A = this chain, B = another copy of it.
């Protein structure tokens, strides 16, 4: 005999593929959702579908946004000659929250990771090189995570860009080694930006 109704089993199955959601959490969430008011469930499901359908990559910096050009790239007051390279949109948001950075971004959507077979061509790195050929960049600030993959990516980008004469900097090691950028407080992130060193 099926232990749960097929509707519940299916929902548990769908939920348990999400990151950080094991089978127990999926069960808990499924029963919570079944007990939620109908309109709340529709709101939740609708938010998922709408976000998935309306979010795309910014044509300029490749962050996730709902317009052709993201608000940061579209802002004429920002310094478009200073480009901060980050691993993902959440890291970009972490720096936006500091309110201290006035340049623009380039979102890689990943980091070089040979053990997972992720090479420079699998992230938005070729797009960065192409972008640097068409814009007048003064400085590229590398703000990848201080993990092994992030450091590898930083070194790789540095070696690629330095011959072009563009200044390449790396956010200071105020960021704890092994830490994830998105979990760090805004003051530490600000200090790491101020103390950036040329590579």
Binding site for B on A (CB under 8 A): 1-8, 10-11, 13-15, 18-21, 24-25, 27-34, 36, 38, 41-55, 64-67, 71-72, 75, 88-90, 93, 96-97, 182-183
Contacts of A90 in B (CB 8 A): 27-28, 31
Q: Which one of B18, B24, B55 contacts A7 once the chains associate, using CB atoms below 8 Å?
A: B55
**Known contacts being A29-B18, A52-B36, A53-B38, is A5 close to B66, with CB within 8 Å?**
yes
Q: Is the CB of B11 within 8 A of A33?
A: no
Whether the pair A46, B47 counts as a contact (CB closer than 8 A) is no
A183 to B48, CA, bound (A): 30
For A55, the chain B residues whose CB sits under 8 A away are: 5, 7-8, 34
CA distance A105 to B53 in the complex (A): 44
Q: Is the interface of A mostly helix, strand, loop or mixed?
A: helix
Residue from the list B21, B34, B52, B64 in contact with A38, Cβ < 8 A: B52
Known A5-B66, A27-B90; judge A32-B50 contact (CB<8 A): no
Alpha-carbon distance between A41 and B47 when the two chains are bound, in angstroms: 10
Which of B20, B24, B33, B53 contacts A48, CB < 8 Å? Answer: B33
A3 and B182 CA atoms in complex are apart in Å by 13
Residues of B within 8 A of A25 (CB): 20
> Which of B6, B31, B46 contacts A66 (CB under 8 A)?
B6
Which residues of B lie under 8 Å from residue A71 when comparing CB positions? Answer: 1-2
B183 touches A24 (CB 8 A): yes
| Among candidates B19, B47, B67, B75, residue contacting A28 with C-beta atoms closer than 8 Å | B19
